Amino acid sequence: MKPKRVHIEMVSLSAIEPNPYRRVEKYPLDEEKIQGLMASFENSGFWDGSIQARAHPRKKSKYQIAFGHHRIEAAKRAGIGAVGLVISDRTDESMLRMMADENREEFCSDVRVTIETLAAVIEAYGRGEIELEAVTTVRKEAQYVLPGGKTYSLGTVARFLGWIKKSDHQATTACRVAFEAYLLRESADSAIESIPVNLRTVGAVKTVVTAVETARHDCKKRRATRAKTQEAEKAAATAAAQNVVKEAGFKKAKNAGERIGHQATEEVAGPKPKSVPDVRVYIQRISNKCSQLSPYAEIATEVRMLIPHLDEIDPNPLSKLADSLESMVQRNGNMILKLVDTLRIPDRAFRKERLQSLLEEVNR
């Protein structure tokens, strides 16, 4: 393998462009951090060689930095004309990973950074700019397919970035929560952005995610339309974000997600309906019982006891027994046929009235 060509080069700030995977509009620079760097530059100057970069793959005499966006902005404001960059032949994968590693410190205070980094990885994978390992070991519902047919999972993205716990080699909690927020971004994104940075913790984002997932689950049980479901999800996300701010963080709000999700669904889609699935299970149980039930089994057992004595019994008692059995068949058969006809009545109100009357007749 040829060694990478690495050298420090003084580059004009006008020739420096951001990491192609850093979406400034979604993840803006922090003003307080910029001001702190400017103060640092006044005391010790700019540290040349502190930022990794590569030659722009399409623009001659331009460079893309892997990280250090705050430092470059602070240098511009401080009137510094050129800075020393560590230039190397870096792949798209390298640029993505270096951006993620450099921002790791910010993950502790703003989960939005984590969400945006995950989004950058997934979108770059969809465009064919990077490769992720094959999805082979997770269940089908935990696999996600991009428009071009490429499949990814939480594990494949987490392993690409190295956001894995040493204890069990699973995705870190911050990565897991950010991944869930990314999947629910259509409903949760605005709500998460509305939370102040100092409160936008992993726990706070989890509260929003839980509220959205609860609303989605409730709407599915109600068979709500897609429009109603989206409305309920966004209402749940907004209410959860407001709760986080009101309670000043995750500690007091951690159990609020499900409650808020349920409330939002009721406000948008109405009260929880009667448990139709439970009624269907009960009906299926009755149907199964009908296929197994033998109402004459007990009588047949009793009659079988007569077989050894048939030669000794007069015809008259046997004739009376036959009359009793025939009466039983007619009585029960007629009642069952009435029940069958009643259950097949299309008019709901009339069907209910007839069924109640019929069952009262049985109990008399």
- Residue 131 makes CB contacts below 8 A (sequence gap 6+) with 93, 125
**Short-list 211, 148, 202, CA closest to 179:** 202
* DSSP state at residue 9: E
Q: What is the pLDDT of residue 273?
A: 67
Sign of CA dihedral 103, 109, 115, 116: negative
- Buried residues in 10-42 as b, exposed as e (16+ CB within 10 A): ebeeeebebbbbbeeeebeebeeebeebbeebe
* DSSP state at residue 60: T
Q: What is the pLDDT of residue 72?
A: 93
Q: What is the pLDDT of residue 107?
A: 47
- Neighbour count for residue 142 (Cβ, 10 Å): 11
Size of the chain, expressed as the number of residues it contains: 364
- Neighbour count for residue 134 (Cβ, 10 Å): 10
Segment (H or E) for 86: strand 82-87
Q: What is the pLDDT of residue 356?
A: 86
In degrees and rounded to multiples of 5, residue 12 shows phi and psi of -65, 140
- Residue 261 makes CB contacts below 8 A (sequence gap 6+) with 210, 211, 212, 213, 214, 215, 217, 218, 236, 240
- pLDDT in single tens digits along all 364 residues of the chain: 444 578 999 999 999 999 999 887 777 788 888 999 999 998 888 888 889 999 999 999 999 999 999 999 999 999 999 999 999 999 999 999 998 887 665 545 578 888 999 999 999 999 999 999 998 877 888 899 998 889 999 999 999 999 998 888 889 988 999 999 999 999 999 999 999 888 888 889 999 999 999 999 999 988 899 999 999 999 999 999 999 888 865 455 556 888 898 888 889 888 776 655 567 777 888 888 887 777 777 788 888 888 887 778 888 888 888 888 888 888 888 888 888 888 898 888 888 888 888 888 776 6
Angle at alpha carbon of residue 275, lines to 213 and 283, rounded to 5°: 135
| Contact status, residue 358 vs residue 342, Cβ threshold 8 Å | yes
Q: What is the pLDDT of residue 109?
A: 58
- Looking at the chain, the domain(s) classified CATH 3.90.1530.10 span 7-91
CATH for the 7-91 domain, from 3.30.70.600, 3.90.1530.10, 3.40.50.720, 3.90.190.20: 3.90.1530.10
What does each C-alpha distance from 105 to 26, 203, 269 come to in angstroms? Answer: 18, 17, 41
Mapping DSSP to helix (H, G, I), strand (E, B) and coil, where does residue 164 land?
strand
Q: What is the pLDDT of residue 63?
A: 96
Measure the CA–CA gap between 113 and 27, rounded to whole angstroms. 7
Structure tokens at 248: 């000043």
Q: Which residue has the tokens 């870190």?
A: 172
Mapping DSSP to helix (H, G, I), strand (E, B) and coil, where does residue 64 land?
strand
pLDDT tens for each residue of 271-303: 776 655 567 777 888 888 887 777 777 788 888
Measure the CA–CA gap between 81 and 69, rounded to whole angstroms. 16
Q: What is the pLDDT of residue 282?
A: 77
**Short-list 195, 217, 230, 227, CA closest to 262:** 217
Measure the CA–CA gap between 345 and 355, rounded to whole angstroms. 10
